[in-house]
Amino acid sequence: MPKVSVIIPIYKVEAFIVRCVNSLMRQTLSDIEYIFVNDATPDNSMALLQLTVNSYPERKEQVRIVAHEYNQGLPAARNSGLAVATGKYIFHCDSDDYMEDEMLEQLYLFAEGQHADIVWCDWYLSFAQKERYMSQPAYNTPLEALKGMLGGAMKYNVWNKLVRRDLYIDNHIIFPSGYGMGEDMTMMLLFAFARKVAYLPKAFYHYVKLNTVSFSHTYSDRHLKELRYNVDRMVNFLQNQYGIQFEQEIAFFKLEAKFPFLISDGSKGEYRRWTVWFPEANRYILQNRNVSMRSRCLQWCAWKRQFWMVWLYYWLVNRLIYGIIYK
């Protein structure tokens, strides 16, 4: 059994795949299973992948390629990787990102030493010319970590966490095929069933921010449908699993889910969408100490329909200041 199975979905990443694969092949941990999932990518990503793997002959036998006949999206690609993985632990790497050489070895040794089902670490937010160190909080129990993710203090990204494969299998946890926006919320399901978790306070993973001009987002109808599905999926699970025990944390989670509407494109349509999504959570806005006072004030202004202040923040901070700092 390999120590770690790494699942890497491939779709339209020809500009990034060589750097990603080099960082994977250079890992100091020797016993790794690499599972590249070709999600019917139409570009040269797979050819570049093969060329890069060929330059590491000692790793070729550890590489497995799974091919989709048609594009199915990120969650389905992750599931295809999980279906064939044989490692003791699972790690997800996005193919436009890259990692430090010692990442998998450090996470594996730490997980084994702590007897943990899940370990997580810090990460880098990487722009074209700059990087920002992203610290994560430490928690003693899976329940504390789950509450931290719901409140926004801890990110539920899949790519800075090493997870025991049995946790997926024993609890029948898969990613929501066909619902890519917010699919990484699945990580919270794993924490809900974990017995022990641990935090390694060091950054290894470089998450590449493709849009370096602004922090704005736009949402298509499809993305909105996917996001709402994943939020509702998580809320239903938490309510069934914990009842009213998580009432406040669920409200925080709903606020976090709709917060990007306030910093998307400064349009009235996005502000209206914030208003109609989860209005029952608004009374908890000022209670979530996990997020900055700035974020709470911005949502409070939206709750009170002072959208001119929200719009001013968007243009001054998101468009102007962040555009300069992270250019």
Note down pLDDT in tens along the chain; length 327 residues.
999 999 999 999 999 999 999 999 999 999 999 999 999 999 999 999 999 999 999 999 999 999 999 999 999 999 999 999 999 999 999 999 999 999 999 999 999 999 999 999 999 999 888 899 999 999 999 999 999 999 999 999 999 999 999 999 999 999 999 999 999 999 999 999 999 999 999 999 999 987 443 334 567 889 999 999 999 999 999 999 998 889 999 999 999 999 989 887 667 788 899 999 999 999 999 999 988 888 898 899 999 999 888 888 766 765 554 554 455
- Give the class (CATH, top level) of 4-208: alpha beta
pLDDT value for 324: 47
Give the pLDDT confidence score for residue 263 in this predicted structure. Answer: 81
Q: Which pair of structure tokens corresponds to residue 278?
A: 């989860």
First to last CA, the chain: 44
Distance CA 173, CA 143 (A): 18
Residue 67 amino acid letter: A
Return d(Cα 244, Cα 147) in angstroms, integer: 13
Amino acid at 43: D
- Which residues make Cβ contacts (< 8 Å) with residue 41, sequence separation at least 6? 10, 11, 12, 13, 71
What SS3 class is residue 49?
helix
| Distance, CA of 266 to CA of 271 (rounded, Å) | 8
Could you identify the residue written with the tokens 């093969």? 50
**Both tokens of residue 117?**
């089902």
- Which ranges in the chain are annotated with CATH 3.90.550.10? 4-208
Beta bridge mates, 126: 131, 208
Please say whether the dihedral angle defined by the alpha carbons of residues 25, 29, 35 and 39, taken in this order, is positive or negative. Answer: negative
